[in-house]
Amino acid sequence: MADELLKAREVADILKVHIRTLYHWRVIGKPPKAVKVNGRYYYPRSELDKYINAKDDNAN
């Protein structure tokens, strides 16, 4: 099954960060990782889930 690809706006809303913050993270290589498809960047759901889980683990 193919991984769901999310747009930057969707990911920014989920993480409650400004979209420019998300763009900055992509440029500097901070997770969640984005993939380029037909010239546009998307965020695989699995990468977002890994990022959220790691963030939750570090908060405890």
Mean of all residue pLDDT scores within the chain: 92
Dist CA 32 CA 34 (whole Å):
7
- Residues in the chain with pLDDT < 70? 1, 59-60
pLDDT for the residue 39? 96
Dist CA 35 CA 54 (whole Å):
20
The structure's pTM equals: 0.85
pLDDT for the residue 40? 96
